Amino acid sequence: MSDAPVAVVTGGNRGIGLETCRQLAALGHRVVLTARDAAKGEAAARKLGAGVEAHRLDVTSVTDATALAEHLADRYGQLDVLVNNAAIGYDTWQRVSTADLHQVREAAETNVYGPWQLVQALLPLLRASRQARIVNVSSGAGAIDDLGAGTPAYSITKLALNGLTLMLARDLRHDRILVNAVCPGWVDTDMGGGGGRPVAEGAAGVVWAATLPGGGPTGGFFRDRRKIPW
């Protein structure tokens, strides 16, 4: 069996997730590209070619998280990189004072509870790695100093994801698992809209955090490899 590192990327069928899969595969990782839509995941994995396999995953589903853990245990026996990229709810049309709280709760299921649940399900496999890394793809929209009144569902859930990052980093420090949040910046994706910078530039910071050497930073919030304020 190959000793190449194993990486899971959620929401890997498009945008930052797809490009992160591409870059990790180019670095020699065995990449498990996950997507809520199985057909879209398979198509994306075929596009990327050797070294990338698709696996259906709805991050809000306990059953799916358990099935992924079982698949990884059977096929690889460990997990070296978990990139929590899947996210929804970029609600530019909302203001915090009038927000539809149903939409906020729905966003939280994917953006906060999904990554949290997945870390718990995959933690035994991450602990089996000699150099495990968890990367939570966040956003400057969730930085507390920059919070505004708009995009309330997206912003508040990214703020919570940042908090989860810090707590996990402190909890897993003795396991030598590095946990960081990365803002890819405003990127030209379906969610971010047109006019942003190339997807490859945004994903590069995610890949940097996913491949940090031993002794690298943990519990940080980064953009383009530089620490940014929470």
Q: Which residue has the tokens 């696996």?
A: 55
| Residue 104: partners with Cβ closer than 8 Å, 6 or more residues away | 89, 152, 153, 156, 157
Answer yes or no: are the C-beta atoms of 136 and 84 closer than 8 Å: yes
C-alpha distances in Å from residue 110, one per residue of 133, 160, 161: 20, 12, 11
Tokens linked to 219:
């519990």
Burial state string for 191-214 with b = 16 or more CB within 10 A and e = fewer than 16: bbeeebeebeebbbbbbbbbbbee
Q: Which entry of 76, 90, 113, 154 is annotated as an active-site residue?
A: 154
Give the span between the Cα atoms of 65 and 57, in whole angstroms: 7
| Phi and psi, residue 108, nearest 5° | -65, -35
DSSP 137-189: E--GGG-GGG--SBSHHHHHHHHHHHHHHHHHHHHSGGGT-EEEEE---SBSB
Question: Active site includes 154?
Answer: yes
Answer yes or no: are the C-beta atoms of 195 and 185 closer than 8 Å: no
Q: Which residues are catalytically annotated?
A: 154
